[in-house]
Every structure is written in structure tokens, then in C-alpha cells.
Structure 1
Amino acid sequence: MAKRLFLTAIVAGLLAVTLLPDRGLSQAADKVTLQLKWVTQAQFAGYYAAKAKGLYEAEKLDVTIRPGGPDIVPEQVVAGGGAQFGIDWLPSLLSARDQGAPLVNIGQVFAYSGMREIAFKSSGIKGAGDLKGRRVAVWFGGNEFELLATLEKHKIDRNKDVTLIQQPFDMNLLLQKKVDAAAAMTYNEYKQVLDAGVKPDDLVVIDFNKEGTAMLEDGIFAKADWIADARNKQVAARFLRASLKGWELCKDKPAECVEIVLKESPVLGREHQAWMMTEINKLVWGPPAPGSPLGKMDPAAFKQTADIALKFGVIKKPAGDGAYTLAIWELAQKK
């Protein structure tokens, strides 16, 4: 009798274990990789914050964040299967799609362009219309199109009315007054000019957002066929949801996000990263307040970017709405 009771207890115990949910399998984290467009800096603070503060982990994601660099093309990495998600400017994504890469924007993080053209007030330049007859520096290789669209808007012939100069990735040409105007990102090169002792009041800043010629910058993309899979679509939604929470954290606690970035890479230093964090938040959140919620593509901003890309040869065919999807963003809102 005692033996029978013992066996019964064992069987009951085994049944109980069998009926319990397999927590190891059901809660195993999905491993994904995010390919950045550039090196570790506050430009990508929202993603580093999402990882450091456990926001990805809370979504059952094991995320590897891979820094970029001058020889890394995020579109190539994602299209080749080296990462599930990538960060890049929209024109670069449109160009990759135009060449056959099966990629799609799943979340637009930056609502505004950080690209500016700046000049010394002493040059006599007061605005974009005064660039006629001037030596104007800009980064070529995909960064010049906002300037070209602005010149066209002001009826300045790029071939006859202005001398365009290939700009190195520094501000020496402007600081040495070898050019009349030069390109600068609000969160990087503009700060370099100020660090050289120039006062903001000494500068004229041409803002392409105000000119109506801005192009969308940092957005999240993935392979279209990868997110077509129902399970991957859920993974993408969880990734986007956690990433956007990371950006919300950086809006509310920018100093904390700066420390998170510095822990990953101290190269640029606290002062520069803090400046960058402040300026990046403006590109994400405004002012003015963006026309769409965080992460949701603004159709008007997309059209403006796509139209400029087509006009100046970034793409040969109209981009079409298939270049982005709202499905992942909508799915990310449901939890």
C-alpha cells in the first residue's frame, strides 16, 4: 500500500511538472541586432538607453547594438542579414530600395533635419538667397541635396551662380574664411565652430526645415520579407516599442542618457555628448511639435524627402508609399 501511494505521488508530480508552462522556452529572449549609421554617440542615445535600462529585456529581446562608421552602410548590413534593424537617413534608404534592396522604414524617429548651412554675418549673407555668387561648402556623397533644393528654391543655378566646394568633415574652411558658408549638423559641427571661439550672434544659420527643403534623417528600417513573417512582425513591434520608450527616457532624463552613452564610449567627452543630447532631442521632439507621434512616419515629410530625392537623382523612380509601413508602429501601440 505504501509503495502504491509512493508511485502515485511520483506520477502526480510528473504530471504536475508536465502541465506547468515551459517558462524557459516561452520566455526565451529573441536575439536581434541593430546596426547604427555612425559611431557611438548621443545621436543614438534612445537605443542605448533602452538596452541599459532593461526596456528591451522587458520585451523579451536580447539586442546587440553595433556601431557604424565611414565604411559601414547599414542598408547593406541589414539586406545581407547581418542585422535585423538598421538606422539611417531616409534618402539613403530610398536609394538602396531604388537599387533593389528589399528594405522598408518601420519607424521614423527624427522628425526634423539637423543639417544647416552656416555663415559669418560679416560676410554679408543674411539668408539662403544671399548665397548667389558665393563659395559654398557642403559634404557631397548624399548630404548635399537639401542645399541643392534650397538653391533651386531661390532660383540660384548650382552650376553658374554659386561655387560649390567639397567640404571635409571639419569646419576649418569656414573658420579660416576660405568659403563663405559651410554645412554643419546642429549636434556636432555647429558646436565645433562655437568651441573655436565664435559666438552664436556672429553667425547666420540657414535652417532647411524653415526653408521647406529638409529631408528626413534617422529612421529604423528592416527587410520587408523579414517583417512579412507574423512572428518577426511581433519582434519588430516589440523592438520599436522599447526603442521609443528609450527616446522618451532621453527626453525626460537627458543627463542620465548622456552617462549611458559615455559608458559605452567616452571618446567625445561629456560636454560634447551633453550638447548633442540636447540638440538630438530637438530633432526628435521639436519645437515645434512634430506633425506625427514619435516613431510614426509623417506622410507630408516623407513626400517632401522623396520628391527632393527624385528631383536630384538620389533615386531614378518615384519612391512610393511602400518605402515605409505604419503596421509595425500600430502594432507597437497595442500593448
Structure 2
Amino acid sequence: MPIAKRFALLLVMIVASLILAACGQTPPAAPAAPTTEPAPEPAAELDPVRLQLKWVAQAQFAGYYAALDQGFYTEEGLDVTIRPGGPDIVPEQVVASGQAEFGINWMASLLATREQGVPLVNIAQIYTRAGMRHLAWADSGIASPEDFAGRNIAVWFGGNEYNLLATLSKFNLDPDTDLNLVQQPFDMNLLLNREVDAAAAMTYNELYQVLSAGHTIEELNIIDYNELGTAMPEDGIFVSETWLTADPANKDIAARFVRASIKGWAYCRDNVDSCVDSVLSQDSGGVMTREAQTWQMNEVNKLIWGDPIDPSTTVGFLEPALFDFAAATALEFGVITQPADPAAYTHEIWETASP
């Protein structure tokens, strides 16, 4: 095309655009440049861990179920599976074998297991008071452990017998010759049917079973191991020392687990009904009652937060004096044969978990 014609055509286009503008119209806009939306960040992966309980789901463990249901574990980046216990499950064995990262059990059992060469370590002491008692009928003539001589005394084994064994040793009673120890099932029928002279009971469970069977406190003589000086810490969180030190990340996981768990227990202190709901939701067999679990939740709160409830209680921190007492009691009364290793507990995880 000649230059003149090209110039004329260009002029026509310019004039046309001016006419459109004068009519209030605008030429079509050029296509917008494609925009790149930032890709959504992938959700952070949760660290999967397992908690092995000492017994079946009940309000004894409500704080852990609350931490799960209220999202406290998720907030800490944890995917927690809670494994119920049972009569044939020993939490120390489960944790030592790597089938769970965390376990719940009593200090005496941990010390006895550790003496056998299993490197378990308490990382948080949740219960600040002991709930185990022995119950006898008031008309039985049993008012003190020294009255156990020649009697049938029921107790749970599998790590639950150590308070009793320590007490028998204190009163110079040989469990093999001076009385008859009976394997106690996980109900109170032996005592209720007077098939034994005394039976073990937790304040939050078996004591309620006896009372709900139509009996009163006045009908019972209650032997309290706290008063006898042979009660050792109950329901602490422990891990395998091998797991804890295998990877620096595991200490961080442990701290997050402890932090969320304590938050769960604080929630149960202030929200009894909600925590009972969490426990009842685990009852696939339909054997729990709201009344029993509410009793249990209130009694467990006393063991953690005191009676009356004191929200300022420092939960999770194992007082060195309490450990020393438990270790000395366990040694003196034959639960362990050598002085307890101070490495059986650590404050490092609790301190990391604390605000």
C-alpha cells in the first residue's frame, strides 16, 4: 500500500475514535493481562501420636477427651488417637513396645518397670492427690491395715497393688503368709457380697459403686493411703526415654501434647457437663450413666485441683519433694529394690509447655 493511502487510512481511524469519544462512548478496552492467583497454602500436617490410657474410657481421663473434642490437640498441630485400656493392658508395656507415644499410669508402677530396665520417664504429673482407698465394712473389725492379718484382702494387680504392698510392709505384714491377697475384678461385687473382708476402691469410681448399691459412708471403714503416708502419685503422663531423645522434634511434640492436655483438664474443671458428654460419647456399649460419670468428674477434679477447687493449682509439674517421697516409699516398702533413678522424671517438657 502506498504511503499516502496508509496515512489517509490512519487519519480516518483517528477521526473515527474522536467521534466515538464525543458521543460518550469509549473504544473497546484491550484484554486484561491474565492474573495469577496465589495458590492456597496447604494445610499444615498434623503430627500423629497415640495415648494409651490406664483403663477404659471414663471421666478419669476426661481431660484428654476434652482436649480432643474441643480442638486443643489440633491447635497444637497434633492428631491424637486415644487408646482405651483394660484389665489385660499395661500402659508401660504398650509405650515401651512403641505402640503408643504417651501413656497414663501411677508413679509406683513406672518406678518398678524402670528398675527392670525399661527406660520410661514421667513428663507431667496430672493428679496432685491420690484417689486409691481400701474399703471394709464398719462391722468387720477392720479399721487399720494391721487388721488385714488373717483376712481376705482384694486388690487389682498389674501395677495397681503397690500402695497396698507398701502399706503391708509398713505394718510388718507379709503378703504371702500373713493374709490372703485376692485378685480383684473391676467391680465391687466381692465386697458387696462379703466374699472378701476389704477391697480396693477409687474415690471417683468404686466408692460410688458401693454407695449406689444402697449403702452409706457410715457403713464403711475407709483406709486412706494419703493419711498412712504410703500413697504415691497417680495418673502421670509418661513416655519412653528412647523415643523422647531419638529426635529433637519429639520433645516439641511432647510439650505440645502436655500443653493441650492440661488445657483439656482446665476445661473440665470449669465445664463438668460438657466433659461428661465427651466421655459418654465413647460409651459404645451403653454401660455408662450420666450420674456416675458426673460423680467421677467431680471427684477427679478434686484430685487434680484440690478440695475445694483451686484454679491456681500448678498441674503437670511433679514436685521434686513428691517424687523423692514416692521413691523413698517405694524403696522402703519393697516396691523397688534399688534407689530410684532421678531420671525417672523430667521437668523439661512441662517447662517448654508452660506459657
Give TM-score scaled by structure 2 length: 0.81
The answer to whether the 8 A contact 1:137-1:182 is kept is yes
Alignment match, 1:168: 185
Runs of 5+ unmatched residues, structure 2: 1-29
Cα offset, 1:80, TM superposition: 2.3
CA offset digits 1:201-244 (Å, max 9, x no partner):
11111110111100222111112233233222111111100000
Aligned-partner Cα distance in 2 for 1:78–1:128: 34
Give SS of 2:42's match: helix
Residue number among 301, 318, 323 corresponding to 2:322 in the alignment: 301
Cα distance change of structure 1 residues 205 and 156 upon mapping to structure 2, 3 Å threshold: same
Aligned length: 322
The answer to whether the 8 A contact 1:292-1:298 is kept is no
Aligned-partner Cα distance in 1 for 2:97–2:106: 19
Cα distance change of structure 1 residues 156 and 70 upon mapping to structure 2, 3 Å threshold: closer
Alignment match, 1:65: 82
Cα offset, 1:326, TM superposition: 0.2
Aligned-partner Cα distance in 1 for 2:299–2:323: 22
Give 1:198's aligned amino acid.
H
Cα distance change of structure 1 residues 261 and 224 upon mapping to structure 2, 3 Å threshold: same
Cα offset, 1:259, TM superposition: 0.5
Alignment match, 1:261: 279
Cα offset, 1:148, TM superposition: 2.9
Cα distance change of structure 1 residues 144 and 71 upon mapping to structure 2, 3 Å threshold: closer
Alignment match, 2:304: 284
Cα distance change of structure 1 residues 60 and 183 upon mapping to structure 2, 3 Å threshold: same
Judge which range, 42-51 or 221-230, deviates more.
221-230
Aligned-partner Cα distance in 1 for 2:173–2:116: 30
Aligned-partner Cα distance in 2 for 1:48–1:37: 14
Residue number among 270, 284, 303 corresponding to 1:252 in the alignment: 270
Instruction: Trace 1:301-320 onto structure 2 (pairs within 5 A).
Output: 301-320=322-341
Runs of 5+ unmatched residues, structure 1: none
CA offset digits 1:164-223 (Å, max 9, x no partner):
444333323322223332211212221121122111111111110111100222111112
Alignment match, 2:166: 149
Alignment match, 1:199: 216
Alignment match, 1:116: 133
Alignment match, 1:273: 293
Cα offset, 1:267, TM superposition: 2.8
Alignment match, 2:236: 219
